[in-house]
Amino acid sequence: MAILITGGTGYIGSHTVIELLNQGYEVVVVDNFSNSKPEVIKRIEEISGKKFSFYKVDLLDYIGLEKVFKENNISKVIHFAGLKAVGESVSIPLKYYYNNITGTLILCELMSKYGVKKLVFSSSATVYGMNNVSPLTEDLPLSTTNPYGSTKLMIERILNDLVVSDPEWGIVILRYFNPIGAHESGRIGEDPNGIPNNLMPYITQVAVGKRAALSIFGNDYETSDGTGVRDYIHVVDLAKGHLKALEKVKSEKGVMVYNLGTGIGYSVLDVVKAFEKATNMTILYNIVDKRSGDVDRCFADASKALKELDWKCEKNLEDMCRDSWKWQVSNPNGYKEN
Ligand code: WQD
């Protein structure tokens, strides 16, 4: 029985595939390489010492995706595949709704057709919107401020409706906070296309000399030093959370929702200082205007995942900075050189 991973060559997907292989799971990966590179397959096999099945398939390709179900004995699915850039989603919303939602509908249609009713879904803390006060618990009212976040919220609602229609489904929805860091080997990591939207890849590109300086979006937020506070979580801790979620759906039905965060908020300046300390590098930065849609503080109440999944983060901010840097300095141009 195999685990199907959609988007398994992406940043979080690739780290999760390694943890699955390390635990002896049989893994099948589908990806369309819209935000990853074929080189990642080789890196995963190098790190884990194991092989896995791969299909270059877009979730919008019903026939191509059905071939995967026909050729493999899939027992559960972890669904990462989706467009994820907040800013880009504002400029091309139709592409985001079509890709993320229709792709998920096709996946669930085929899962149902082949009797696969165990799913772990990659959601995001962005569904908590701008009106909730951190620490955030899973029962808070949900809202979104951009099309990317809206696709995640709509898919959560679709999955809830699916379970109401067929209680045989077991679905875990994981709401990620801010994943950063990389596998300790430095052989896989975050490799954004173009100018990084997110903080840590921008910092590492400044450190490696690809960018001149970090622009810090605002320093008059209601926080200790005025810069935005977020809940940064090591991508390996996040990956391990998915294995705990798989165990949960193995034994339970219905929809279960969990925050995957550390429960600790760090400001932008905290991260810059931690990075400089961990790497002995200096990060030049300028304070610029706030970025629209950013909230002052966003961090998790992570107690439900601890209680119900027996999962908690093991790595700290220093580990995240050190591992992010090891990936970047070993791969100054990401995967592009191969
Ligand atoms: C973190 C902090 C910025 C870049 C987003 C999505 C979320 C998830 C993670 C997909 C904020 C500040 C950032 C920069 C900066 N993505 N910053 N200069 O916005 O919390 O979350 O990415 O699932 O859904 O919303 O992450 O890394 O963009 O920003 O000052 O160049 O760093 O203002 O305070 P964010 P981020």
Q: Rounded distance, CA 263 to CA 160, Å? A: 26
Tokens of 37: 């590179």
Ligand 1 atom closest to 84 (CA): 10
Tokens of 193: 């296309």
What would the pLDDT profile of 110-158 be if each residue is shown by its tens digit?
Answer: 999 999 999 999 999 999 999 999 999 999 999 999 999 999 999 999 9
Q: Measuring CA to CA, how many Å separate 287 from each of 156, 269, 294?
A: 36, 11, 15
Q: Measuring CA to CA, how many Å separate 150 from each of 124, 231, 328?
A: 10, 21, 31
For ligand 1, whether the C-beta of 228 sits within 6 Å is: yes
Helix (H, G, I), strand (E, B) or coil at 255: strand
Q: Rounded distance, CA 161 to CA 237, Å? A: 30
Q: Rounded distance, CA 179 to CA 193, Å? A: 17
Strands 266-267, 229-230: pairing is antiparallel
For ligand 1, whether the C-beta of 197 sits within 6 Å is: yes
Give the pLDDT confidence score for residue 337 in this predicted structure.
Answer: 63
With a cut of 50, which residues of the chain have pLDDT below it?
Answer: 338
Instruction: For the chain, list the domains and their CATH numbers.
Output: 2-182+232-262+297-314 (3.40.50.720)
Q: Which residue has the tokens 């705990």?
A: 244
Strands 118-124, 74-79: pairing is parallel
User: Ligand 1, atom 9: nearest CA belongs to which residue?
Assistant: 178
Give the pLDDT confidence score for residue 336 in this predicted structure.
Answer: 87
For ligand 1, whether the C-beta of 174 sits within 6 Å is: no
Q: Catalytic site residues?
A: 148
With vertex at residue 27, the alpha carbon angle to CA 46 and CA 201, rounded to the nearest 5 degrees, is 55
Determine contact, residues 3/26, Cβ cutoff 8 Å. Answer: yes
Q: Rounded distance, CA 90 to CA 223, Å? A: 27
Ligand 1 atom closest to 216 (CA): 30
CB within 8 A of 28, min separation 6: which ones? 2, 3, 4, 5, 52, 53, 54, 55, 68, 72, 74
Q: Rounded distance, CA 53 to CA 68, Å? A: 10
**Ligand 1, from 83, 151, 199: best to mutate by most atoms within 8 Å of Cβ?**
199
Q: Rounded distance, CA 304 to CA 137, Å? A: 8
DSSP string, 144-157: -SSHHHHHHHHHHH
For ligand 1, whether the C-beta of 202 sits within 6 Å is: yes
Burial class (CB in 10 A: 0-12, 13-18, 19+), 310: exposed
- Global pTM reads 0.97
Distance 309 CA to ligand 1 centre (A): 27
Ligand 1 atom closest to 291 (CA): 33
For ligand 1, whether the C-beta of 96 sits within 6 Å is: no
Ligand 1 atom closest to 271 (CA): 32
